[in-house]
Structure 1
């Protein structure tokens, strides 16, 4: 993959997504460690589908910080996503739909699957750093 990753203190949600996507594509964003860079990857989807890439803002909608991971399911106000750097691990977290910036899909693969509706207890993540 050839991504320069300095230390474990570097946010690594983008690195996790890059590692997964490098298994199916040799095209990654210019800076895959930047979570918001994934909003330029592949093609846009109007709705989540299993495996689609979810890009969220973190801190401020207009800022540079973000979070990225893979769609697992959703409930009325939240997306449930598999991602890295969530409690310093690869986990499934619940994020508010209000924080969503974009939903992306790898260009060379057809979209398969449909939205997965789920009810999930517990608090939503508010800071994935």
Structure 2
């Protein structure tokens, strides 16, 4: 993800070809974001992939600006560049973790993934403490 702070005038000129920012009158500054979102569509009920290689067309780069008011809160935003025409309407996320004993049809174990994550975090903590 990239982010760049802009003045209202810079955002107006860069993204909307005008001298004054055309949207949120309460905005005092703008932050431009460029994000890459990747996904994998599955049809298996347990989330297993029939092909573990993610196709090259399974992601998009999105650009948007967040409008920030004087007290630092985000008060709005706009899709910019190509993202004006192609952007997600919503994003679906799971609300809970799978059961601890979940194993997918391809043999991926949630317990194994959790264990690897915990060991990886422990190694990171060790590296930080050894640098002090």
Report the TM-score, using the length of structure 1 for normalisation: 0.24
Q: Structure 1 or 2: larger helix share?
A: 2
Structure having greater relative contact order (Cα 8 Å, sep ≥ 6): 1
Larger radius of gyration: 2
Report the TM-score, using the length of structure 2 for normalisation: 0.24
